[in-house]
Amino acid sequence: MKNHLIIVCLLIFTSAYSFAMDGDPAKGKTLSQTCTACHSVDGNSINPIWPKLAGQHASYIVKQLNDFKKGNRVNALMAAMVAPLSEQDMIDLGAYFSIQKTTLGAAQPELIEIGELIYRAGDHESGVPACMACHGPNGAGNPAAIYPVLSGQHAEYTTTQLNMFKVEERNNDPNNMMRTIARLLTDLQIEAVSQYIQGLH
């Protein structure tokens, strides 16, 4: 199963949302004023329950905004925020946040070893593939495949998302990829890999 997931992770590429790179960061900055209460001016949210958007791939941001708008990703607050946005607005927002610099985080020392093992090698016994197979050794993701940047993301946010994938409260992952992986992770592994990601750069 692990090998299958890695192959899927490496080979499923799409050009969808590649046009996100054609966005206007200046217009995106103006539009982002409504985002600042949660995500801060530069996309580095202070509250760890809200994701950092700074440095995230534009293609991924556009996909998530579209998913919120279409109901493919459920969040009442975000649904209200994206309702008035046009496709071009989303592209411009993606362009703005993608060029912002991500603030670095730090992992809890006692969880680094477990987190690093999951991120870099996976879990052979349970069949969990290495996170870096899709997200890269430094957490830089893959914009062409719309795999997000993970480096420096809040551990609390990442933990929440992995748990939501695990119980299928979030289901906008291509080909059930993240849901399949998250179901195999223990609570400790989720916490540890989330902490490791927070300190990854």
Spell 6-17 as b/e; 16+ CB within 10 A means b: eebbeeeeeeeb
> Cα–Cα distance between 43 and 61 in angstroms, integer?
12
Q: Give the pLDDT of the chain (201 residues) as one tens digit per residue.
A: 555 544 444 444 334 444 445 899 999 999 999 999 999 999 999 999 999 999 999 999 999 999 999 999 999 999 999 999 999 999 999 999 999 999 999 999 999 999 999 999 999 999 999 999 999 999 999 999 999 999 999 999 999 999 999 999 999 999 999 999 999 999 999 999 999 999 999
Q: Is residue 55 part of a domain?
A: yes
The pLDDT of residue 104: 92
63, 98, 133: which is the final residue of a domain? Answer: 98
The pLDDT of residue 18: 45
> Cα–Cα distance between 178 and 145 in angstroms, integer?
14
Q: Is residue 13 part of a domain?
A: no
Answer yes or no: do 76 and 29 share one domain: yes
Answer yes or no: do 178 and 119 share one domain: yes
User: What pTM did the predictor assign?
Assistant: 0.90
Q: Is residue 158 part of a domain?
A: yes
> Cα–Cα distance between 70 and 199 in angstroms, integer?
33
98, 123, 146: which is the final residue of a domain? Answer: 98
Answer yes or no: do 108 and 185 share one domain: yes
The pLDDT of residue 158: 98
Q: Is residue 94 part of a domain?
A: yes
Answer yes or no: do 27 and 90 share one domain: yes
The pLDDT of residue 8: 44
Domain count, the chain: 2
CATH code for the domain in which residue 45 is found: 1.10.760.10
Task: Domain of residue 114: give its range.
Answer: 2-8+104-198
The pLDDT of residue 21: 57
Answer yes or no: do 118 and 180 share one domain: yes
The pLDDT of residue 60: 98
> Cα–Cα distance between 189 and 181 in angstroms, integer?
12
> Cα–Cα distance between 102 and 97 in angstroms, integer?
10
46, 72, 98: which is the final residue of a domain? Answer: 98
Answer yes or no: do 112 and 194 share one domain: yes
> Cα–Cα distance between 99 and 88 in angstroms, integer?
17
Answer yes or no: do 57 and 130 share one domain: no
